[in-house]
Amino acid sequence: MLVDFSVKNYLSFKESVTFSMIASPDKTLWDTNVIENAQGTGLNLLKSAIIYGHNASGKSNLIKAMNFMSGFIQSSTNHLPDRPIETKPFKMDASCLDKPSEFDIRFIVDGTIYNYGFSVDKHRVHQEWLYGFPKTQKRILFERNNNKKDAFYFGPHFKGEKNTIAKLTRDDSLFLTVAAQYNHELSKTISRKVINLRYFPSLVGDSEEQIKWQISSALILCHLMPEFVPKLKRLLSLADTGISDFSYNVVEFDIIRSKENSDSNSKVKMPDPETVKTYHKTTSDKGELSSIEFDINEESDGTVKWFSAAVITVFQLSRGDSLILDEFDLRLHPMLSRELVSMFHNEKVNPKNAQFVGTTHNTDLLDKDLLRRDQIWFTEKKHDTGATDLYSLWDFKKKPRKEEDYRKNYLSGRYGAIPILEKFEL
**Domain ranges within the chain, ordered by starting residue:** 1-197+323-426, 205-320
Binned at pLDDT 50, 70 and 90, residue 208 comes out as low
Q: Please report which residue ranges of 240-360 form alpha helices under DSSP H.
A: 301-319, 334-345
Binned at pLDDT 50, 70 and 90, residue 425 comes out as low
C-alpha 140/C-alpha 216 separation (Å) is 42
Average pLDDT, the chain: 87
9: Cβ contacts below 8 Å, ≥ 6 apart: 89, 90, 96, 99, 100, 101, 102
Binned at pLDDT 50, 70 and 90, residue 265 comes out as low
Burial of 249 (0-12, 13-18, 19+ CB in 10 A): exposed
Q: CB atoms < 10 A from the CB of 286, how many?
A: 5
Spatial contact of 227 and 353, defined as CB atoms under 8 Å apart:
no
C-alpha 418/C-alpha 55 separation (Å) is 9
Q: Where are the beta strands (DSSP E) in 64-194?
A: 101-109, 112-120, 125-133, 139-145, 152-154
Q: Where are the beta strands (DSSP E) in 178-225?
A: none
CATH number of the 1-197+323-426 domain: 3.40.50
Name the more confident of 237 and 262.
Answer: 237
Query: How confident is the model at residue 181, as a pLDDT?
Result: 94
C-alpha 402/C-alpha 379 separation (Å) is 21
C-alpha 153/C-alpha 182 separation (Å) is 19
**High-pLDDT (> 70) share of the chain, %:** 91
Range of weakest confidence among 42-46, 278-282, 327-331, 422-426: 422-426
Range of weakest confidence among 295-299, 407-411, 415-419: 415-419
Question: Residue 257 pLDDT more than 60?
Answer: no
- pTM of the model as a whole: 0.89
Name the more confident of 50 and 228.
Answer: 50
Range of weakest confidence among 72-76, 103-107, 243-247: 243-247
Determine the average pLDDT of the residues in 304-323.
Answer: 84
